[in-house]
């Protein structure tokens, strides 16, 4: 630093001041460097977190407390391509009671199309017998009309009845309003080594981005695949993929079916549900509201004669 000498009228160098000034400048440079490094590190961290969030979509919330998902129709719909589910015989289209009320057509019972190549011969024969009964005017009902558990994937086929999905860290509960039927899905867990067949089987699940994947085995062969009463064996495996589509207006479930004992090949189907806001869960107990007014030959309502205590 230069110092002016009033006596001599000249400038001299102040070494101490120069040394102090140099040290101060160096300290300021260190401060600026540290601050710049901190800012850069913060920006990199924010960028990394943003990139991670973009590559790992948030898990969707299926279970808003006032939202139910109401099935559209009551059949498994064919997939966009490839082998699909049993559908109505082209000569005998199915007319539901609701459709009959709207159109004035005569309601009927389902008659299955037996030409579907997925069906093994014994399944074709079982459906043929049921077709003959339906065409004769005999009532064709399955066990759920008398309060028997529906099984999977028929669990998804109740018309006008919402399902609710309750998500926790370890389990997802899929709840069907009629009779408060509940399926429990163990998340991020393997299947048991020895699965004992039950009505709704053993379900395990995981998330793939915005999709809930549910894998179910161990299904009791007293249930059916669909409302045509297509039978299956205890080798049945059902994989469902749940995702919310069209800006949250619909829940779409892609269903994959494998059963080497009943079908000639794996096949797929689609089931859609519309979102219903402000829909609380309503108690509907089947056994307390089930009467056979028309005297049909129906299975009995299940009863447990063994005391719980």
Give yes or no for residue 6 having a pLDDT over 80. no
User: What does the block give as tokens for 73?
Assistant: 């129709």
* pLDDT tens per residue, range 252-309: 999 999 999 999 999 999 999 999 988 778 888 887 777 777 778 777 888 888 887 7
Angstrom CA distances, 162 to 184, 211, 232, 283, stand at: 17, 20, 26, 12
Closest CA to 285 of 134, 206, 184, 176: 176
Name which residue leads in pLDDT, 248 or 265: 265
Q: How far is CA 186 from CA 149, 170, 179, in A?
A: 20, 6, 22
Element (H, E) at 54: helix 15-55
Q: What is the dihedral of CA 149, 151, 156, 162, to 10 degrees?
A: 20
Instruction: Please check the confidence at residue 40 and state whether its pLDDT lies above 80.
Output: no
Structure tokens at 299: 């299975």
Q: 243 pLDDT band (50/70/90 cuts)?
A: very high
Q: Are 82 and 266 in contact (CB under 8 A)?
A: no
Residues 240, 216: contact at Cβ < 8 Å? yes
For residue 292, the model assigns a pLDDT of 79
Show the DSSP H helices in 56-106 as ranges.
97-103
Helix/strand/coil percentages in the chain, nearest 5: 25, 25, 50
Phi/psi of residue 176, nearest 5 degrees: -100, 130
- Measured CA to CA, the distance from residue 143 to residue 221 in angstroms comes to 13
Q: Verify cis geometry, omega within 30 degrees of 0, for the bond prior to 153.
A: yes
Burial of 175 (0-12, 13-18, 19+ CB in 10 A): middle
What does pTM read for this prediction? Answer: 0.78
Given a contact cutoff of 8 angstroms between Cβ atoms, the answer to whether 262 and 231 are in contact is: yes
Quickly state the pLDDT bin for 63 (edges 50, 70, 90). Answer: low
């Amino acid at each position: 630093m230069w110092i002016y000498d009033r006596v001599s009228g000249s400038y001299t160098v102040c070494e101490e001041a120069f040394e102090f000034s140099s040290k101060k400048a160096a300290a300021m440079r260190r401060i600026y460097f540290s601050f710049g490094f901190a800012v850069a590190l913060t920006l990199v961290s924010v960028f990394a977190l943003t990139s991670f969030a973009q590559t790992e979509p948030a898990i969707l919330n299926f279970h808003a407390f006032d939202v139910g998902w109401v099935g559209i129709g009551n059949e498994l719909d064919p997939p966009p391509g490839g082998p699909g589910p049993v559908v109505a015989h082209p000569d005998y289209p199915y007319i539901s009671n609701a459709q009959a009320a709207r159109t004035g057509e005569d309601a009927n019972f389902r008659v299955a199309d037996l030409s579907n190549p997925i069906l093994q011969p014994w399944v074709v024969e079982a459906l043929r017998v049921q077709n003959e009964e339906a065409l004769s005017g005999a009532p064709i009902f399955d066990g759920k009309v008398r309060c028997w558990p529906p099984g999977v994937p028929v669990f998804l086929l109740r018309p006008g009845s919402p399902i609710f999905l309750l998500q926790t860290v370890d389990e997802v509960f899929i709840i069907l309003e009629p009779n408060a039927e509940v399926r429990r899905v163990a998340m991020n867990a393997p299947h048991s080594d020895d699965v004992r067949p039950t009505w709704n089987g053993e379900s395990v699940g995981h998330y793939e981005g915005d999709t809930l994947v549910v894998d179910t085995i161990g299904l009791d062969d007293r249930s059916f695949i669909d409302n045509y009463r297509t039978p299956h064996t205890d080798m049945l495996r059902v994989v469902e993929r749940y995702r919310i589509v069209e800006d949250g207006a619909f829940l779409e479930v892609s269903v994959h079916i494998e059963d080497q004992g009943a079908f000639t090949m794996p096949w797929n189907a689609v089931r859609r549900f519309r979102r219903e806001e402000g829909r609380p869960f309503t108690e509907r107990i089947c056994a307390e509201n089930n009467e056979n007014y028309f005297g049909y030959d129906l299975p009995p309502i299940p009863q447990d004669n063994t005391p719980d205590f």
